[in-house]
Amino acid sequence: MAIDMKGKNLVSIDDLSREEVAQILETAEIIKLRHYSKESQPVLKGKILGMIFQKPSLRTRVSFETGMIQLGGEAIYLGPDDIKLGQREATKDIARVLSRYVDGIMARTFSHDIILDLAKYASVPVINGLSDLLHPCQILGDLLTIKEKKGRLSGLKLAYIGDGNNVAHSLIFGSVKVGMNIVLATPSGYEPRSEIIEKAQVDAKKIGSRIEIIYEPEKAVDGADIIYTDVWTSMGFEKEKEIRKNIFKPYQINQDLLSKAKDDVIILHCLPAHRGEEITNEVIDGPNSVVIDQAENRLHAQKAVLALLL
């Protein structure tokens, strides 16, 4: 049975039911199929998305803007100099004013509190395009990619190697919603936040998924169907770059680590990649890598979100 998601926010995958996640993925599959069939899909004709950016972006901006156009709508880019969130104007005022102009708001911010304030005060759907805590749209595209490549999601093992950052947090939430098992190998002191694990365990217990935090990459990739990594130094942590490079060195995805996983394991990276750091050229350009398909699926997953929410 279809679920009416009109007017709903997408702040976190944890806020979605299992059925809503399934509906987004199924809608994305239909939208992608119709896209490649050259079928017009003007489901958002007359709709406008306001896009707030505090951080630079390639995939988020282009995929959302392209998605709106392909669905018959329009998008307005609002960069750091256009809206100085919390500086020039209070976030709640921005949310209320934009709600009178546009049909939805997508924001890519530093502080997660900004996303929460936008969602609290806006009267139109708010979509988290990325915050320092979560990256839900990325993971919806990832789940679509895994489903395409593996034919299923439930029961698979995903090994995440690296920093317990916003991508890791949303991967945890996303994995347990679809019945995947996730093991995260991080250096000591760089684990995902405990409150994220605690919240995700609620869904994990219901569906029978496993969440494991360990410190040995080799153990994590043993029997893995998917290996996922991200940059060691996210935006906002640039001062820690040299320290992190030394600490994370044993967590590089290279051919030696890859050989310890299944032969048909797929490699995911949310991009941009720091080649030669968290992943080698040999692996990211190799036959197990699906990172470009993964990047494309941001477009189709987000189109599904836009079509369902706006």
How confident is the model over 182-234, as pLDDT tens digits? 999 999 999 999 999 999 999 999 999 999 999 999 999 999 999 999 999 88
The CATH number of 13-135+297-309 is: 3.40.50.1370
What are the b/e assignments for 285-304, b being 16+ CB within 10 Å? eeebbbbeebbbbbbbbbbb
Non-local CB neighbours of 237 within 8 Å, separated by 6+ positions: 244
The answer to whether residue 86 scores a pLDDT higher than 80 is no
Residue 102 contacts residue 73 (beta carbons within 8 Å): no
Report the pLDDT value the prediction gives residue 235, as an integer from 0 to 100: 73
Query: What is the set of active-site residues?
Result: 108, 135, 138, 230, 270, 298
Q: Which amino acid, one-letter code, is at 87?
A: Q
| For the chain, domain boundaries | 13-135+297-309, 138-295
Report the pLDDT value the prediction gives residue 1, as an integer from 0 to 100: 58
% of residues, the chain, pLDDT over 90:
92
Q: Any idea which of 10-14, 21-25, 136-140, 235-239 has the lowest mean pLDDT? A: 235-239
13-135+297-309 and 138-295 share one fold: yes
**Residue 116 structure tokens:** 């929460």
- What gap in Å lies between CA 211 and CA 149, rounded to an integer? 22
**Which region holds residue 151: left if phi is over 0, alpha if psi is between -120 and 50, else beta?**
left
Tell me the CATH class for 138-295.
Answer: alpha beta
Exposure on the CB side of residue 186, measured as CA atoms within 13 A: 21
- What gap in Å lies between CA 302 and CA 142, rounded to an integer? 11
* pTM summary value: 0.97
The answer to whether residue 85 scores a pLDDT higher than 80 is no
